[in-house]
Amino acid sequence: MKKLIAFALVILVVICVWDIKAREDAADRRAEEVQSELVALYGEDYLEDMHKPPQTEIVVVEQTVYVSRIGKKIHKYSNCSGMTNYMTMKRSDAVEAGYSFCKKCYPPYYVQNNP
């Protein structure tokens, strides 16, 4: 009798293992199916894109600039040319208000490339 129970247990374990294996195989097949469907829809590049890390978003922070209260120049550095009487502004606001770029803080090539 004990042998029979032991045998039944062994059978049960074998069935369980076989079942798990079968489920895994089915999952693998399904994954392959899904992948080939996606490739059919979006082309081979899709698989490559899937493994690329997500693109990091570039956040453009509005640059704060220093504007002389006396002059009409936009400075990158508050201590430019010994300036003491200045106010801070957003760069785009300063440009809109008609201020021009200081040639020391913003060399001509810089302004050309960063209008």
Q: How far is the CB of 100 from Zn ion (least distance, A)?
A: 11
Q: Which residues of the shown chain bind Zn ion in the complex (CB under 5 A)?
A: 75, 80, 102, 104-105
Distance CA 102, CA 81 (A): 10
Q: Minimum distance between the CB of residue 108 and Zn ion, rounded to whole angstroms?
A: 13
* Residues 6 or more apart whose Cβ sits within 8 Å of residue 74: 65, 66, 67, 89, 91, 94, 95, 99, 100, 101, 102, 105, 106
Nearest approach, Cβ of residue 92 and Zn ion (Å): 18
**Nearer to Zn ion among residue 30 and residue 83 (C-beta):** 83
Whole-angstrom Cα distance, residue 29 to residue 41? 18
Residue closer to Zn ion (CB basis): 90 or 104 = 104
Tokens describing residue 115: 């209008």
- HSE, side-chain direction, 13 A CA sphere, residue 91: 16
> Which residue's CB is nearer to Zn ion, number 75 or number 89?
75
As measured in angstroms, the least distance from the Cβ of 39 to Zn ion is: 56
Is the CB of 94 or the CB of 102 nearer to Zn ion?
102
Under a CB-based contact definition with an 8 Å cutoff, are residues 97 and 65 in contact?
A: no
